[in-house]
Chains A and B, each alone.
Chain A
């Protein structure tokens, strides 16, 4: 039964222990994350919620290895993020993390195929192989007929689908989605959520940061942040309701 059990022996993909992040301003120390503990397991679908200023974005940046914690530990797979150099962090981002942004963040001067290829390009994937995989991924998100279009020629929903394809390019350990439906109308939004559900069903670990209760409702677990701490964790997970 493919039900994620937090307390079983399975390896945690993400493990956070007493995670702290503070910004040192000239006259004061601004503590944003004040000791977080959490673990996400393989195949989990987790949402992080919280009002603005709760430290959501900071946590997301740290989870995405764009930023380093100032205290505690963040283990992604077997890597302790705090110990890695800038180049190693780049490599981790490229190989282990798939980003899906609220504003899609496609590169406007590249076409769809090339946008999907970018992540593989930095991992030295040979051109031919890169091309093959990008075509396969584009097909998987239903954009096989738009390969040579540029991002501004696509609708928001289509752009986000390109972003999903791109996030899968290097077969990452986790997919980080930051308000993936924030810039979409409800119809394309639910298409995207559908797609995320499918990805999770195929075994991908997905962490989504959102304001939207409806988005959170689809995930197995929701971590509520408030003022830099975990306020509460809501276990849900339709597959695990009997557990």
Chain B
């Protein structure tokens, strides 16, 4: 049996080799079809994995509420002589969440502000993050040296800070940072720890972060107790200049992040939060971000993406398959005489079917393998030149191999049966 199969394969390979140009051209349709399937799946998978990773950094059981400047901020305030606009999340919002929502396991208020930072003669603008000691429960933070902020720091409004690695590289090239004094907004803070935020751990994210922050001149992060930030820096930011003289903004909190115990609690909690905020905020000066929803949306997007790409690839494979069928029919009529001879010498219809079918399947399998090789190269080029992540999954490889074999069988059957059902007498007479 095995001997017979290898025999059939050998004969088919020889016959394909005899018409190498034709076989090669016929194969091209499958090569490009399969490679496009693989390339498209790889690009789609890469894009969705990237999106999912980014969302996963935000935490799938987290709900993030951010302060946004409302678009319809009242200019009427200016008439009353007040030019300070007050909006955004407040401490009592955070307090209310903690007290009234049982699922709000962890509530982390955060206030962010870019600030001038100085160590000896080095000066840089960094993002000042005022937060609480349990901040690491929400965002995975890796402590490299020293410690993170402690509840005591918060309680006593300590002038301590924890800096991230980026800032460490800029400010402390040689010195041991722990125990040094850092000047922030004109006041001194004791460095107690060095951390690395996992969200910016990957190389690409870091580059992206650097790119995003270079323009604004923000380099790295400084974590200080939010209580210290409130008492030392305050909540009002005054901007000087402009046509109306100075103007100011008062924002208590930049964001509040809430962690719920399980994923299925995310949406109900979001709804409670939403109605609660609506009640206490007349203006829509906040935005609720639910990473889980984003995750689900990303999955939906991926599905649509896959369907679109899949149909394009399927059409190109169909075209390739029809091309193969066409050539096989031409081959069959060209080899009519040979078929007649074989029939006269004792070949059954089945033998003829096997012979032509194996030629077609081999043709598509070789085409499929070449297509897989090409398809594996395209995503690499896309990654290198297009700066897009791509992921080639084994499933995609198996799928395309199966597809090419399937095309060989589907589009090879008709020509093979056509060959087998020819009248041997007619075939022998055929010139």
Write the residues of chain A forming the contact surface with B, with a CB cutoff of 8 angstroms. 61, 64, 66-67, 86-87, 90-91, 93-95, 99, 101, 105-109, 118-119, 121-124, 126-127, 166, 170
Q: Is A90 within 8 A of B347, CB to CB?
A: yes
Q: Is A101 within 8 A of B7, CB to CB?
A: no
Q: Which residues of A contact B4 (CB under 8 A)?
A: 124
Residue of B nearest to A114 (CB): B11
Q: Which residues of B contact A90 (CB under 8 A)?
A: 343, 346-349, 351
Distance of B428 from chain A, by nearest CB (Å): 7
Q: Is B345 within 8 A of A93, CB to CB?
A: yes
Q: Is A67 within 8 A of B425, CB to CB?
A: yes
Interface-central residue, B15, B342, B348, by most chain A CB under 10 Å = B348
Main secondary structure of the interface of B (DSSP, over half): helix
Residue of A nearest to B3 (CB): A127
Q: Which residues of A contact B7 (CB under 8 A)?
A: 121, 127
Q: Which residues of B contact A119 (CB under 8 A)?
A: 345-346
Interchain CB contact (< 8 A) of B425 among A66, A118, A166:
A66
Distance of B146 from chain A, by nearest CB (Å): 78
Leading 9 A-B pairs by shortest Cβ distance: A94-B346, A122-B346, A90-B348, A119-B345, A87-B348, A105-B341, A122-B347, A93-B346, A66-B424
| Complex CA–CA separation, A86 to B340 (angstroms) | 14
| Complex CA–CA separation, A86 to B351 (angstroms) | 12
CB of B14 closer than 8 Å to a CB of A: yes
Q: Is B345 within 8 A of A126, CB to CB?
A: no
CB of B338 closer than 8 Å to a CB of A: yes
Q: How many of chain B's residues have a CB under 8 angstroms from any CB in A?
A: 23
CB of B57 closer than 8 Å to a CB of A: no
Q: Is B345 within 8 A of A122, CB to CB?
A: yes
Q: Is A109 within 8 A of B348, CB to CB?
A: no
Distance of A229 from chain B, by nearest CB (Å): 22
Q: Is B345 within 8 A of A61, CB to CB?
A: no
CB of B337 closer than 8 Å to a CB of A: yes
Residue of B nearest to A178 (CB): B428
Q: Is B341 within 8 A of A107, CB to CB?
A: yes
**A87 and B345 in contact, given A61-B425, A107-B338, A109-B15 (Cβ under 8 angstroms):** no
Q: Is B347 within 8 A of A64, CB to CB?
A: no
CB of B350 closer than 8 Å to a CB of A: yes
Residue of B nearest to A60 (CB): B425
| Complex CA–CA separation, A124 to B7 (angstroms) | 11
CB of B344 closer than 8 Å to a CB of A: yes
| Complex CA–CA separation, A119 to B341 (angstroms) | 10
Q: Is B18 within 8 A of A109, CB to CB?
A: yes
| Complex CA–CA separation, A107 to B351 (angstroms) | 16
| Complex CA–CA separation, A66 to B18 (angstroms) | 30
Q: Is A93 within 8 A of B342, CB to CB?
A: no
Residue of B nearest to A67 (CB): B425
Q: Which residues of A contact B349 (CB under 8 A)?
A: 86-87, 90
Distance of B335 from chain A, by nearest CB (Å): 9
4 additional A-B pairs beyond A99-B344, A105-B344, A105-B428, beta carbons within 8 Å, are A64-B344, A87-B348, A90-B343, A122-B348
Interface-central residue, B14, B18, B342, by most chain A CB under 10 Å = B342
Interchain CB contact (< 8 A) of B345 among A86, A127, A166:
A166
Write 11 A-B pairs (CB below 8 A) sorted by A numbering: A66-B343, A67-B425, A91-B348, A95-B346, A105-B341, A109-B18, A119-B345, A119-B346, A122-B347, A122-B348, A127-B3
| Complex CA–CA separation, A166 to B345 (angstroms) | 9
Q: Can you list, as one digit per residue, whether each of B217-232 has a CB less than 8 Å from chain A (1) or not (0)? A: 0000000000000000
Q: Which residues of B contact A94 (CB under 8 A)?
A: 345-347
Q: Which residues of A contact B344 (CB under 8 A)?
A: 64, 66, 93, 99, 105
Distance of A97 from chain B, by nearest CB (Å): 8
| Complex CA–CA separation, A7 to B18 (angstroms) | 54
Q: Which residues of A contact B428 (CB under 8 A)?
A: 66, 101, 105
Residue of A nearest to B340 (CB): A105
| Complex CA–CA separation, A123 to B189 (angstroms) | 95
Q: Can you list, as one digit per residue, whether each of B297-340 has a CB less than 8 Å from chain A (1) or not (0)? A: 00000000000000000000000000000000000000001101
| Complex CA–CA separation, A107 to B335 (angstroms) | 10
Distance of A230 from chain B, by nearest CB (Å): 22
| Complex CA–CA separation, A189 to B347 (angstroms) | 29
Residue of A nearest to B424 (CB): A66
| Complex CA–CA separation, A127 to B8 (angstroms) | 12
Q: Is A122 within 8 A of B341, CB to CB?
A: no
Distance of B421 from chain A, by nearest CB (Å): 10
| Complex CA–CA separation, A170 to B344 (angstroms) | 13
Q: Which residues of B contact A61 (CB under 8 A)?
A: 425
Distance of A68 from chain B, by nearest CB (Å): 11
Distance of B260 from chain A, by nearest CB (Å): 71
Q: Is A107 within 8 A of B342, CB to CB?
A: yes
Residue of B nearest to A96 (CB): B346
Q: Which residues of B contact A127 (CB under 8 A)?
A: 3, 7
| Complex CA–CA separation, A106 to B343 (angstroms) | 13
| Complex CA–CA separation, A64 to B337 (angstroms) | 17
Q: Which residues of A contact B18 (CB under 8 A)?
A: 109
Residue of A nearest to B351 (CB): A122
Residue of A nearest to B347 (CB): A122
Distance of B92 from chain A, by nearest CB (Å): 89
| Complex CA–CA separation, A63 to B15 (angstroms) | 32
Interchain CB contact (< 8 A) of B348 among A66, A86, A95, A121:
A86
| Complex CA–CA separation, A108 to B4 (angstroms) | 22
Q: Is B338 within 8 A of A91, CB to CB?
A: no
Distance of A92 from chain B, by nearest CB (Å): 8
Interface-central residue, A64, A66, A124, A166, by most chain B CB under 10 Å = A66
| Complex CA–CA separation, A91 to B343 (angstroms) | 10
Residue of B nearest to A128 (CB): B3
Q: Is B3 within 8 A of A91, CB to CB?
A: no
| Complex CA–CA separation, A93 to B343 (angstroms) | 8
Interface-central residue, B15, B18, B340, B346, by most chain A CB under 10 Å = B346
Q: Can you list, as one digit per residue, whether each of B1-25 has a CB less than 8 Å from chain A (1) or not (0)? A: 0011001000000110010000000
